[in-house]
Structure 1
Amino acid sequence: MMDWPPQSPDLNPIMQMWGELENKLDRIYSTFKRKKSCFQVTAFCQENEHNYEAPNMQNKKCGKATWTVIFEDSVDKDALHSLKPLQSPPPPPSFKVVQRKQRIVCLILDVSGSMEGSRILQQQQAATHFLRNIIEDQARVGIVALSTFASTLSPLTTIDSDTARENLIKSLPKVASGLTKMCLGLSQGLQVLFYDSGDAFGYEIIFLTDGEATDNIAGCAPSAIQSGAIIHTLAFSDIYYSMQKCAMLKTSNQLMDAFASLTLSTGDYINEPLESVGARTSDWFNGTVSVDQTVGNKTSFVIIYEISFPSVYIQSPSGSVYTQTNMSHDVSQKTVTLNIPGTTEPGDWKYSIQTTILQALTLTVTSQAAQADVPPITVKTHMNQQFSDGTKPMIVFAEVSQSYRPVINADVWATLEDPSFTGADAFQDDGIYFRYFIKMVNGRSSLKVRVKNQDGQTRFAVVSLISILVQLNHPKPPVFEEPLDVGNFTRTDIGESFEVKLSGTAPPNFPPNRITDLSAVIQEDTVLLNWTAPGEDLDQGTAKSYEIRWSFDLKMLRFNFSNGYSVNTTAVSPQKARSVEQHSFNLNITIQNGTTLFFAVQSEDKQNAKSETSNIAQASKILPGPKPSGISNPDMNLTGLVISLCVVTMLICFIVVFAVKHRKLSAQSDMALIVTNECQNNLYA
């Protein structure tokens, strides 16, 4: 794709006029534009100003004015209609540029009596994995144990060698006893951080506890947060207090996931958790992990077993098989580890784990970026709410990208305490997948997302390349013509936990989700509608029925849907959510040339709950006009025009050649006369 006008130091007048026009266009009041800055935006359009007929994404997804969208979910929504414009310009924004410091982490590990048994073992397994495979080189790590008292097991230690990592692992506690004095542990952890520089701002605390505090954690948590430390709380039970992150843990696999996900908090996506799966079986536990070309350094396979040592086989893409003889076995921690030296071979790695007794098995695979200057593919997850009373649906989001490039068409599973479910792209080609979470159960749950591509459908979306130099308005950048093939890959991420407290005993009933991609086409006198099927409850299940209406007036459909003309939908049987729906029909009118019609859909569930009105789709009937009477044969006229242009061009060339030749002859005659006169003057001198 070429930019217009071409970049040239010498612009002709036409190009200069184009440049002036483009500059003027930048001053047009607009909501949607290519460039990033628009200095003249002073207000957002309100309902009476909004253009509902504009075929843009705002009308498809929202169908409301910008002003309404901004304040619809705000605490100030009641003041929407009484707000007045600012009497003076708002103050200029201020920006603070910061640079990431060396990563400093303090592990605060609960070793109270309630951690005895499987919990203290799971803590050892996960902390060992974090210290050996997750925390990056040159970071500094300290370890604090808490029970009736708090003690420092290791001061801040720089991770500069494998020996440093193993020394920290040896410091991990192995015995549990005493009370759970969380405030003492939190205070001791902050002292370890303060000892380094007298300041804990930006440093991290990873607080692992069973949540059964014997002191008042709510009394000391606020001051810890005010210190500026980033506090990640990993809890084995329904603990809830004001920390930045709290993940509910019920198995050792979840604890491993939680520790692995903490590497992403720095913004430096070097170490990636590729896979984390588990099963309780007395037979084979098989699967495939895809290692793509963006990762591959320091790849490790960690297998944790519950009772007895299983048989483990791991096969590389080229066919090499690794067995127990190639792995390290820690009997005390019931852990088997395979470290792949150098850069791992990209492709599908297959694992087969066999056990003859019924036991729990888990596999965790991590890998670092293959190249320091090539960011790996990452997945980031979150819920739209961390607390729900059931009145509003909860939404699971997963963003899959490589740096700023979205990864599309991936398979995404979000796993809660209920069966897993897959997500779809909210906006086409943006790499953000979402699903509603409607099976609400009282209590606290954690979220885990797995992303996979093994069928060759995943691509990098078509995106613009950006410059590192920050500019308000970039020149229009080059664009990839086709999406780039990502190849097979696997990723895992664990998000923040959330809490549900339902007001009633039964879970809430939600209506079908709003259709946002309705499109319409008029073919002769037939109307063809297309849309994505909603569910029985939001985007899950199958709706009971559809109601389709049309009108000559868009706003009438938008604000008074039931007053539109009804379409017979008895032949339409709703399909499962996210299926493609099509319906064609003839109207009881003759559609004249130039007519524009508007269409909308509502869906209904078995409890007769209706969805919101869909986006308004419009379609026009445009017939080609008759040929102009003066043109009987366009091809002959075009030929004549070309011949005429050639004749005129030849005539101009002849005139130019004649004029140039005549000037040369005149110049030669004048020169001969001058030379003759000069010779005569010299002769008589």
Structure 2
Amino acid sequence: MLKSEDFKNDNNPARQVTDTTPTFRVVKIAPLRIVLVLDVSGSMNNRINNLNQMSTKFIMATVPDGHFVGIVLFESEASISAHLTELQGIHVRQSLAESLPNSTSGGTCIGCGLESGIEVLGGNGGIIMLITDGNDGHSEKFQGVKAELIGKGVSVDTVAFGDAADPKLSNLSRDTGGIAFLYNEGTNSTGLNDALSATISSRLGGSQDVSVTVASVRETSPVLGSTFIDESIGLKTLFYFLWTTSPISVVLHRPNGDVIDSLSPNYRKDGGKNLVVIEIDDIAEPGEWFYNISGRPQLVEISVLSSPSDKALPIRVMTSNSGDSLISEKLAMVIIYAQVMQGYRPILNAIVVAIVERPSPYPPVQVKLMDNGAGVDITKDDGVYSGVFIDFVDASCPNCRYSIKIIVRGVNGTATVEAGGKKDGVFPFIREPMDATGNETENVGPFVRVVSGGGFEAPMTVPEGDIMPPSRITDLRVLNVSYDQTVSLSWTAPGNDFDRGAADEYDLRYSGNFSTFSRDFRTGINVPDGNIALNGNLSSPNPFGEQETVLVHMASEEDNSTYFFAIRARDAAGNEGAPSNIASVIFARNQMVTTTSKPSTTERSTTSVLHPATEEVYAPKLHSFNGLAVGCSVVVVLLLLVLVLGIVIVRRKATKGSYTINGEGHQNPSYEMNE
């Protein structure tokens, strides 16, 4: 800790505190102040309708009441189209949406747009959402405005509209504390809509007023599709259908069988903005909603929003990624995270998939995110799902951009939360008791959530050949041991390329010297060797995420033998994963007492061990009993009773077999294994 930037070189020295009286300050979330800074240069000509559609949805539905939005348009120069306006009610929103652009001309001066954005915000702080498709023609102005943005504490979210957008956008977001997004305009891409939604959800994700997205897709009409509304949402539910060339008709079927069509009062078609909006009165009932879109073949974007109801805490998804910190010419990967929670309770066993959009013309790829404590996922069942993206385009480009969309599904009967926990959104300082049925988890029912996972850049040429190693095994553990010195080891299969596929073989080793073994894995002895018998398979690993188990029989006859085990995976190209955590076992004998009872085997907990970790299991140890020497001859009868009782106790202990030290569930110190 002392080596961190916060404390090294005597930064932030300890204070002398004389008064420890606590003080409390009640705070609440301040209204957001957001300025849309929109590119209306000539290159946006074929994109202006899409920009208008998505910005309209942002103003009409995405931003909750009580927050402020302004609009700046820029090309060679910039103009303020609307000053900050507090969004309250449909009429204010419609009036603001009329200030959005519908025509294009001129060049591109990003710095001009940002400068006007600062003017609209007025004081310090605030958010600018910059959407552009071009390169800045006034770089000197851009750098000056960037310094002003940082000085005023203004965060800039950027959307790179197409692959040719200015490469400085990502750095601008990073340096101002904003979020960088990509909209590559692929056939099925919903990147612009997802980015605008994430600008709000990333800042107000815990608020009851913020709507959640349960559908965000782009399909070719005619379309017959569906989405699911769960019981935690249902207020202010909006179905958006945005066409590209020709008007469409939509028929919406409610779960109860009722139909909403163009004759319904809550059905609105806007030919000027190419959209159909269906607003559900009161609360949308839980269940599957079907939509039927008819019209000429064309791309139609479908977006469904719904706000939390008071029936249950909303299910929220927060995302992040490692960005370019793990990208290099030697080894390139990005770790994607999605935290799925209901209040403060993690949702387990959800299906979480990241869709990564790549530069044109490369198709998107899917990455499955897991919460199993294996691979890049550090902790099992904490609600944080993790996965690795390695499918970079095989080309060299100065600003190869990638965008991430996260889709989370709960399948009825599978997705669960901890039972008996806090359900009112208050942090559970004291854990409540288990529910009356004794269940540790309860079902959350089916649900769907769609969120943006941000974006990243990979300015590199992808190396040829297989250079990706298997993931590090982080949960090697001893399941059980027995008197014949047989040890059962278990771990989670690590995959071939990080968490993809299956490795080629395992390298399992043991040592009697922890100090040497923990520093250098190669000093360990391979299993099996001439003195070790193995029941299991180390040459055909299972696919990532599956459980592996082997039995190892240690041939040593020495008393009080201690063994340390570690393992790593290797792929067919010879790439080796990092050595695992260390699991240890102690065999202790006491020859003072013998028994003819058949020894038993002690079962160990299979709970995953966090990285790094060491697991210790103590094998059978027999205890002798020493009778008390009683010097007084008048209590001979009492002495005999004590001796008889002692013999009974000895026999009971001798038949118990192995046991764990310090009771069941003993946690051991963590150790790092080096190669």
Residue 496 of structure 1 aligns with an amino acid whose one-letter code is G
1:215 matched residue in structure 2: 138
Q: TM-score normalised to the size of structure 2? A: 0.73
1:106 matched residue in structure 2: 35
Q: CA deviation at 1:147?
A: 1.6
Match for residue 476 of structure 2 among 515, 518, 529: 518
Q: CA deviation at 1:597?
A: 3.1
Question: 1:269-295: per-residue Cα shift (whole Å, max 9, x none)?
Answer: 3323323443444654524x2322222
2:179 matched residue in structure 1: 245
The whole-number CA distance in structure 2 between the counterparts of 1:185 and 1:293 is 43
Alignment CA distance shift 1:614-1:467 (3 Å):
same
Match for residue 266 of structure 1 among 179, 182, 203: 203
Match for residue 194 of structure 2 among 249, 257, 265: 257
Pairs within 5 Å for 1:307-326: 307-326=245-264
1:409 matched residue in structure 2: 349
Residue 273 of structure 1 aligns with an amino acid whose one-letter code is V
Match for residue 449 of structure 2 among 488, 491, 500: 491
Residue 451 of structure 1 aligns with an amino acid whose one-letter code is V
Pairs within 5 Å for 1:503-652: 505-506=463-464, 509-520=467-478, 521-525=480-484, 526-568=486-528, 571-572=537-538, 573-589=540-556, 595-618=561-584, 619-622=617-620, 630-631=644-645
Q: What is the aligned length? A: 547
The whole-number CA distance in structure 2 between the counterparts of 1:436 and 1:319 is 42
2:291 matched residue in structure 1: 351
The whole-number CA distance in structure 2 between the counterparts of 1:184 and 1:96 is 40
Residue 522 of structure 1 aligns with an amino acid whose one-letter code is V
Residue 605 of structure 1 aligns with an amino acid whose one-letter code is D
Q: CA deviation at 1:431?
A: 0.6
1:142 matched residue in structure 2: 70
Contact 1:271 1:366 (C-alpha < 8 Å) held by counterparts: no
Match for residue 200 of structure 1 among 95, 114, 124: 124
2:335 matched residue in structure 1: 395
Alignment CA distance shift 1:586-1:285 (3 Å):
farther
Alignment CA distance shift 1:563-1:157 (3 Å):
closer
More helix per residue: 1 or 2? 1
The whole-number CA distance in structure 2 between the counterparts of 1:539 and 1:315 is 41
2:391 matched residue in structure 1: 439
Residue 535 of structure 1 aligns with an amino acid whose one-letter code is G
Alignment CA distance shift 1:168-1:577 (3 Å):
same
Alignment CA distance shift 1:548-1:591 (3 Å):
farther
The whole-number CA distance in structure 1 between the counterparts of 2:136 and 2:24 is 40
Q: CA deviation at 1:246?
A: 1.9
2:154 matched residue in structure 1: 229
The whole-number CA distance in structure 2 between the counterparts of 1:386 and 1:437 is 12
Residue 256 of structure 2 aligns with an amino acid whose one-letter code is S
1:24 matched residue in structure 2: none
The whole-number CA distance in structure 2 between the counterparts of 1:214 and 1:301 is 39
1:449 matched residue in structure 2: 406
Are residues 1:294 and 2:232 paired?
yes
Larger CA deviation: 83-92 vs 251-260: 83-92
Contact 2:343 2:425 (C-alpha < 8 Å) held by counterparts: no
The whole-number CA distance in structure 2 between the counterparts of 1:171 and 1:84 is 53
Unpaired runs of at least 5, structure 1: 1-66, 636-685
Residue 193 of structure 2 aligns with an amino acid whose one-letter code is M
Contact 1:275 1:492 (C-alpha < 8 Å) held by counterparts: yes
Which of 1 and 2 has greater Rg? 1
Pairs within 5 Å for 1:57-72: none
Alignment CA distance shift 1:522-1:313 (3 Å):
farther
Contact 2:218 2:302 (C-alpha < 8 Å) held by counterparts: no
The whole-number CA distance in structure 2 between the counterparts of 1:295 and 1:468 is 15
Contact 2:221 2:293 (C-alpha < 8 Å) held by counterparts: no
Are residues 1:377 and 2:315 paired?
yes
**RMSD between aligned alpha carbons?**
3.5
The whole-number CA distance in structure 2 between the counterparts of 1:583 and 1:469 is 44
Contact 1:466 1:477 (C-alpha < 8 Å) held by counterparts: no
The whole-number CA distance in structure 1 between the counterparts of 2:202 and 2:512 is 53
Residue 429 of structure 1 aligns with an amino acid whose one-letter code is D
The whole-number CA distance in structure 2 between the counterparts of 1:111 and 1:566 is 66
Q: CA deviation at 1:146?
A: 1.2
Larger CA deviation: 474-483 vs 182-191: 474-483
SS, match of residue 644 in structure 2: coil
Alignment CA distance shift 1:95-1:540 (3 Å):
farther
Alignment CA distance shift 1:591-1:136 (3 Å):
farther
The whole-number CA distance in structure 1 between the counterparts of 2:115 and 2:10 is 48
Q: CA deviation at 1:466?
A: 11
Q: TM-score normalised to the size of structure 1? A: 0.72
SS, match of residue 613 in structure 1: coil
Question: 1:271-323: per-residue Cα shift (whole Å, max 9, x none)?
Answer: 23323443444654524x23222221101111223333445343333333333
Question: 1:646-671: per-residue Cα shift (whole Å, max 9, x none)?
Answer: xxxxxxxxxxxxxxxxxxxxxxxxxx
2:53 matched residue in structure 1: 125
Q: CA deviation at 1:611?
A: 1.0
Q: CA deviation at 1:382?
A: 1.0
2:88 matched residue in structure 1: 160
Contact 2:231 2:312 (C-alpha < 8 Å) held by counterparts: no
Residue 545 of structure 2 aligns with an amino acid whose one-letter code is R
